[in-house]
Each structure stands twice: as C-alpha cells, then as structure tokens.
Structure 1
Amino acid sequence: MNVIDNVNDTSLTASPATPHVTRGPTLPAHRLPHLPTPLDAFNAAPDDEADALLLHCLHSPRWSRRIADHRPYPDVESLLAAADEATYDLSPTDLAEALAGECLPPVPDGTYSAAHTALSAANAAYEARFGHVFVIYLGDTPPAESLDRVLEGIRSRLTNDPEEERVIAAEELRRLAGGRLLQLLRGAENCATSPNTPAPGK
C-alpha cells in the first residue's frame, strides 16, 4: 500500500442527443462516500511506509517512530504539533544524527561558479567550527535570493558559540521538518500538479 493513493474523480458523460452534460445520481450529503485524504492515508499506512515518509522530513529514527506511534491524527495541525514537540525533545545524540542527514540547500540554476566557491568555503568554515553542515529554513525565500540568504546566515552564525549555535540549528531543523511534512501532504493532496506551497515558519 502506498502512503498516498490517487483518487479518480467521477467522469462526466455527455449525451449525443442534447448539448447538456449529464451526471450520475447525486447522493444526499450524509451518504456521500468518504474519499481518503493524504492525512487519512498517512494515518492508515504501514509502519515502514510512515517511517520512510517521516525520515524524509528529518533523519532521526527516534523522531519518526514517536510521531508514527501516535497515529491517528485528527487533522494536519495536530500532526504538525506532534512533529514540533518531538523535535523539541531531541537529545544531543538525536540532534547530531539528524544534522548528519542534512545537506546544504541547493543553489539556483545558473549560479556563477564564484558563488559556488564562496558557499563551499563558508560552509567548510562552519563545519570546522561546529562539526556539522549548516542548516537553515528558507521558507518562502525566492530562489534567486536563497544563495545570498544562506551565505548571510553562515557568516552571521559563525560568530556564535557552540551551545548557542546548537540551539539555533535545532530550531532550524524543527522548521525544516515541519515544512517538509506539510509540503509532502499538500503535494499529495494536489496530485503533485500545483506549485510548491512553502510551509509557514513558526
């Protein structure tokens, strides 16, 4: 069973004798069939599929298992709240594991090689100081501005002490995980045909 199943809409059939479009019989509201939503599918998914989806959002098996074990969720807001709470409770070991699964945000197509060099150098300095890749939630930052924001973030956070930066990195991971989870649910709901909807920062 896939985590998200496609649901086919009832097709419309036109009568050749008239220009009108005819539809099938309309059911009373209380008898309308229940169509599964992405959240319904997530709630009902086997454990391994739920874990795979959650690990795509944050590379922490403890985090993903905690969220999956508390299914079913009545609504998306409850799921996101559970994801936030689980992220707040990450131990230092869990946090290090989650950070190890991260990578730098992709730079926009057509970016000059000098910008790639600057980003690589800045991240190398960051990793040398803090021991993990730089993470940042870009939210609704336009793609053309994302590189500048990443570089600005690295340079400003390089001045932090390790404990201060650990707290900031954990918060960025929380926002990233929630944004990815919401984007997956929304993307499935829109059959992956709509533009990506950025998750709200919290």
Structure 2
Amino acid sequence: MRHVNPSRPAVPEPTLTSDTHAPCRKPGPADAPAIPAQKSAGTPHGLLLLDAADPAEAVELLLSCCHSRRWAERIAAHRPYPTVDALLAAAEEAGYDLTGADLDEALAAESSAPAHPGAPPAARTALRAAHAAYESRFGHAFVISLDGVRPGERLDAVLAGIRSRLGNEPEEERVVAADELRRLARSRLVLAVARGLTFPRTDL
C-alpha cells in the first residue's frame, strides 16, 4: 500500500484524452511532462503516409486539395498530425489565413463543375450558361461545396447557387468563395486521406 503524506496536497493523476487542446489550468511544478499524442491502430493509412512524406512531396499532395502554395506549405510544415481531426483543424486555420493573393492563386486553379452527363440537354445548357455568366462577372470559376447534397440534386444546387451569388458584389462574393473553398479543401483532404497518397483532385 502506498503511504500518502497528509501534509502534501494530492496531485490528480494525468489522463490522456482525444482533445487536442491543452487544459485550461496552468501546469504546476508537480505536473507530469506532457505525453505526445499517439496514433491509434485505426489511423488511416493515408495520414500515416502524409506524415512520412518528404516536405516537397507533401506540399504537392496538399496542393491537389487547395492550390494555394502557402496553405499547402503551412500544413506540411506542421506534420506529424496525430489524428485526421488535427489535420483538418490545421487546414481550417490555414484557410482562414489566406491572403488576397493566396485566394487568387487557389481560385485560378479551380475549374467549372462537372457537366452532369446524365442530366437533360436543356439542364446542361443552362448550367454552362450560368457558369459563363458567373466567370464573366467575377473573373474566376464558381466554387461550391456539395457535402450532404444527394447526387441527383447536385445540378439543381449548383444552378441555384450560381443564380443566387450572381447578385453579390465582387468583394462580398470573394468572402463567399473563400468559405466554399475552405469547405472543398476539407472534403478533398478527407477523401485523400481515406484513399492514401494518391490524393486525387475531386470536384464535389
């Protein structure tokens, strides 16, 4: 049995949690050193490979998710990531820190949404016209995240989004486009990590 000195206050045993944030209280002299987060047996293979890639390769892989080099370099520089959530949090933070030039670079690499070959000809024509009108007004491709939208409803969601956002002022639309780009980057990262180091470019 361990004897406790009654004159010395008890120190709570350190615990490990999945929270990536440090505890709010300030550490005292009796606290144990921080234990680095460990990857679990269920860590996606893609995350392990991303963490192990050399810096130049990691940047190129990340550029397939968002074509801002500063964004990709920042995420690559903070490896390794203990969990996918930690990677996504870093991507989100880097996305909010994009400068105007970074955003221009990323938007310039985007292309119009897929042509929806299963849609009726009239709908495809309307979609092409809507994309052309958007690009003429704002000078870059229309970007939108379709997470949670059923495949059969995506064409209508894109058309509705373009028509709604055509009424925005240019600076207002840049804010909306930046937000959609962050969502797209997140979706692409999730898919890329799930698939491994191929990091395919996907226009959702």
- Contact residue 47 and residue 196 of structure 2 kept, 8 A: no
1-structure distance, mates of 2:119, 2:168: 28
TM-score, normalised to structure 1's length? 0.73
Q: Partner letter of residue 154 of structure 1?
A: I
TM-score, normalised to structure 2's length? 0.72
Aligned counterpart for 1:92 among listed residues 94, 100, 103: 100
Instruction: State yes or no: 1:178 paired with 2:191.
Output: no
Aligned equivalent of 2:113? 105
2-structure distance, mates of 1:148, 1:112: 12
Instruction: State yes or no: 1:62 paired with 2:61.
Output: no
Number of residue pairs matched by the alignment: 159
Give the 5 Å matches for 1:42-191. Answer: 42-188=50-196
List alignment gaps of at least 5 residues for structure 1.
1-32, 192-198
Q: Secondary structure at the match of 2:64?
A: helix
Specify whether residues 141 and 107 from structure 1 end up closer, same or farther in structure 2 by C-alpha distance, changes over 3 A only.
farther
Specify whether residues 106 and 35 from structure 1 end up closer, same or farther in structure 2 by C-alpha distance, changes over 3 A only.
closer
- Contact residue 43 and residue 83 of structure 2 kept, 8 A: no
2-structure distance, mates of 1:36, 1:156: 38
- Contact residue 49 and residue 196 of structure 2 kept, 8 A: no
- Contact residue 116 and residue 124 of structure 2 kept, 8 A: no
Note the aligned Cα RMSD (angstroms): 2.3
Specify whether residues 110 and 37 from structure 1 end up closer, same or farther in structure 2 by C-alpha distance, changes over 3 A only.
closer
- Contact residue 136 and residue 176 of structure 1 kept, 8 A: yes
- Displacement of 1:99: 0.4
2-structure distance, mates of 1:35, 1:187: 13
Give the 5 Å matches for 1:6-25. Answer: none
Aligned equivalent of 2:22? none
- Contact residue 44 and residue 194 of structure 2 kept, 8 A: no
1:23-66 Cα distance to aligned partner (Å, 9 max, x none): xxxxxxxxxx9998321211110122211210110111111001
- Structure number with greater CO (CA < 8 Å, separation at least 6) is 2
1:127-173 Cα distance to aligned partner (Å, 9 max, x none): 11111111000012122111110000000011111111110000000
Q: Which sits farther off after the overlay, 167-176 or 119-128?
A: 119-128
Specify whether residues 125 and 72 from structure 1 end up closer, same or farther in structure 2 by C-alpha distance, changes over 3 A only.
same
Q: Which sits farther off after the overlay, 86-95 or 102-111?
A: 102-111
Q: Which sits farther off after the overlay, 171-180 or 48-57?
A: 48-57
Percentage of identical aligned residues: 57
- Displacement of 1:110: 1.9
1-structure distance, mates of 2:53, 2:175: 33
